[in-house]
Each structure stands twice: as C-alpha cells, then as structure tokens.
Amino acid sequence: MSLSQREAVASSTMSGICDNFLNAFAIHLNATVPQIAWLTAVPQLLGAWLQLASVWIGLHCTRKRLIVAGAVCQASAVLGMALLALTSPAAAASKLIGLAVLYQAAQNFVQPHWRGWLGGLVPEGRRGRFFAQRTRISAFAGFAAFLLGGLLLNIVDDVAAADLGFAVLFLVALGGRTRATHLLQAMHDPMSHAPVETERTLRHTLRLVLAALRHRAFRDYTIFIAAMQGMVALSVPFFSVYMLRDLHFSYFDYTVVLATSILVQFLTLRGWGRISDRLGNRVVMILTNLLLPTLPALWIVSHELWFLLCIQILSGATWSGFTLSTGNYLYDLRPQHSHFTTYAAVQSGLTATAVFFGAMAGGYLAVVLPTTIELGRHTLRIQSPLLGVFALSGLLRLAVALWFLPRAEEPRVQRRPTVRELVVGLVRSLPFTRIVRDWLTSRRKRG
C-alpha cells in the first residue's frame, strides 16, 4: 500500500502532463475541431474495449506481469509524443492521434487488473480514506506537473519555441512513467500466480460479462456511468479549443483555469472520503450529480477569467466527490465471490463507447451549429458554436442524473443522514472552509 502511494506520485506526473496538455499540443499542431474529437474519442474507445481482452489474457498470466508490460507500452507512446514535438512532421495531428491510441490502450488494458490488485490490498473499512488519500497524492503530483508545465510553455511560447517546450514536457512525463514502472515491479501482489480457472476460453470470458450484466444494480450503475461520461464528453474536449482558439488565452491563463480544478479536487477529497465512510457513497453521488449539470452551462454566462476560475472551483469540488464515490460504489456493489476484473472491464468498456459517441457528436455540433440566431427583427450573435455544445451537455447530464438517482441503492447498510449532516458535510469539504479550520487548529496548538 505504501509503494502504491509512491507509484501514484510518479504516474500522476506523467498523467498531469499528458492528460492536460494533449489537446493543447494538438491545437499547437493545427488540429481541427473534428480531429480534437477523434483525439478524445478513438483512443478511449479502442483502449477501454481492450479491457475485455485483458480479462481473458489475465487468465493466462499473472496480473503483475501484465500491468508492467502495459506500463512499458505506455512509456513508448510518451516517447513518441516527445519525438513528434521535436520533429514536427507532416500530418502531425494524425500521428498524435495514433500515439494517443497506444497511450490509452496501454492504460486501459491494465486498468481492471490494477483496480482488482488495489481492491484486494485495502481493507473494506479503510477504502474511503485510503483511496481519498491516494487520490489526493495523485492530484497534488498531477497539479504540480501541470502548473510547472504551463509556466514552461508560457515562457517558451514568448520566444517562439513551443515545440521545444512540449518536447521537454513529454520527456518529463516519460521519466515519471519509468519510475512508476520500477515501483510496480517492487510491489507485492497477493495473487502471485495466474488465477486457476476451469475454463480459460474467450467464450468463458463472455459468460462472465453476461453474468455481470444480469446483476440489476450493477447494470443500472454501468448505464449511468456510461451515459454521464458520454454527456460529459460532449463538451469537455472542446474547453481547450474554446480557451486557446476562441478566447485567445495564453498558455499561462489556460493552465491556471485547468489547474484550479485540480487544486480544489486535492483540497476536498479528504472531506468527501469522510462523508463516504460515514454516510455512504450514495449520499455523495446524489450531491455531486445535482451539481454536475450546472458546470458546462455556467461557461455561457461569462468568459471573464475570474468567473471561469469560480466555475473551476465548483467543478473541482464536484468532480472529486463524484469520482471517489462512484469508484468506491463499484467495490461495494460487486457481489461476493464475483469476478471483479470482469465487472471493471464491462463498466469501462461501455463508458468508453459512450465517450466515443459523445465526443464525436460534440465535434459535429461544434461545426454545424450556427453563430447567429434570427429572433424576429433581432439577431442574436453567439460568440462561438461551442457555447451551444456546452448548454446541451448540461441539459443531458441533468437528464441522466434524474434517471439514475431514484434507482441508486446503498450496498452498505447506512443510517439515513439528516439534512443538517448533509449541509455540514458539504460545507466542510469545501477548500476555503478546510483552510480556515486548519489555520484555527494550528493557532490553538501554538497557544
């Protein structure tokens, strides 16, 4: 468990760079909006459906060997991105999509085994706090890498050397992935041998998939996660385009906006973890699902930097609770003696399919939506067609939340929280409240 925390720092250094600057790098390579959609959709789709293949392959070899091999493949993809930045070949945006496919395929291929590995190491009663702490460590490392990367890009962009800046960033990411791979090799896996199965055929794996989908609560949860992430993918890939292309933000402004959300996630995870352990994951899911639909719609109100930062504060607090609660909910939801790797692979595969269609639909709408609307004698001018995409994403998120929340069950028996407990728990999870509380605590200790 201790080594996994150190691995989180190293791997998050890579993801903090690659995940946050990939779209910016594509825009630097003059990628079109449809290409941005492909950059998000195709790697996710192919990578996540490989998880079902990894379930079958995992029956024939140890999961530790499979995970380390996937990490090596991902490192090679990051190295390719660095070389792409240095050489700037023809059709660079298309080549970047190919490297992103390899990057996501390697990550998703090992994901169900990695989740099963950690899930088997951490006792059930400590999951909320452990994964909150691990996610906080990951968020901090990713935040630091992202912030320093944005400062570097802003400096080199002033001297027309953005290619070199992106190359340096991807080389740093490569170092993080290499370090994480060494830590993975050193970690203990309680399942040190390939699982003993009476059948190791692909047909047997498909039977496991069908068995997972027959579980009603898991089926509803999987449909919900897939649909919600699909509606999120309708807009999320294009916030970078909106800021860098339409609002003409500098790399520093762009980094500050995105880094604000990462920082707030780091500050609020402990509070969400405590609420999850005490009151259950369903409570956190309800609170965050009521906030998710408002996030893209607020981008329509104003494009001032200070207002976007306020949106990102709300976004960070919401996404930290949503990610933590939905991840723990899957651990609690799985029936005993079931094949967890299959459950994780099915959920990720369906989610990736929804993300694919959501991102592709967003890319299409960003091209065809009008920038002017005739209202009788008046003409309404829209700054960017992406604003219509953001509004639609918010409405569809709300529809998905209203469908799932009445169906959500709490797998662990929890007492029903009072309204006061919900409000106090939510307020305590906010970053400003926590900073004030920590300051007062330190004052009392000095006194």
71: nearest Cα among 23, 5, 16, 7: 7
Q: Identify the pLDDT of residue 428.
A: 53
- Contact, 400 vs 228, CB < 8 A? yes
Q: Identify the pLDDT of residue 156.
A: 86
Sign of the dihedral defined by the CA atoms of residues 419, 422, 425, 430, in that order: negative
Residue pLDDT, tens place only, 73-87: 889 999 999 999 888
Q: Identify the pLDDT of residue 294.
A: 93
Q: Which residue has the higher pLDDT, 363 or 189?
A: 363
Residue pLDDT, tens place only, 328-366: 776 666 554 445 566 666 777 788 889 889 999 999 998
Residues in the chain: 447
Residues 6+ apart with CB under 8 A from 253: 243, 305
Residue pLDDT, tens place only, 9-49: 888 888 889 888 999 999 988 888 888 999 888 887 777 67
Residue pLDDT, tens place only, 204-234: 555 655 665 666 777 788 888 889 999 999 9
What is the spatial distance between Cα 8 and Cα 162, in angstroms, rounded to a whole number?
A: 28
User: Per-residue pLDDT for 250 more than 70?
Assistant: yes
**CB atoms < 10 A from the CB of 422, how many?**
16
Token code pair at residue 272: 């969400």
- Contact, 239 vs 389, CB < 8 A? no
Q: Which residue has the tokens 């292309």?
A: 245
77: nearest Cα among 54, 56, 46: 46
User: Per-residue pLDDT for 55 more than 80?
Assistant: no
| Residue 181: pLDDT band with limits 50, 70, 90 | confident
* Cα angle for residues 13, 15, 16 (degrees, 5° grid): 65
Q: Which residue type occupies 426?
A: L
Q: DSSP for 344-405?
A: HHHHHHHHHHHHHHHHHHHHHHHHHS-SEEEETTEEEEPS-THHHHHHHHHHHHHHHHHHHG
What is the spatial distance between Cα 306 and Cα 311, in angstroms, rounded to a whole number?
A: 9
Where do runs of H (alpha helix) occur along 122-161? Answer: 127-158
Q: Identify the pLDDT of residue 407.
A: 77
Residue 418: DSSP 8-state: P
Token code pair at residue 229: 């992430």
Q: DSSP for 178-237?
A: HHHHHHHHHS--S--S----S--SHHHHHHHHHHHHTSHHHHHHHHHHHHHHHHHHTTGG
Q: Identify the pLDDT of residue 313.
A: 93
Which residues lie across from 178 on neighbouring strands? none
421: nearest Cα among 319, 246, 275: 275
Token code pair at residue 431: 């970053």
Which residues lie across from 381 on neighbouring strands? 372
- Lowest pLDDT segment from 52-56, 134-138, 392-396: 52-56
pTM score, whole prediction: 0.73
Question: What CATH code would you report for 2-190+200-438?
Answer: 1.20.1250.20
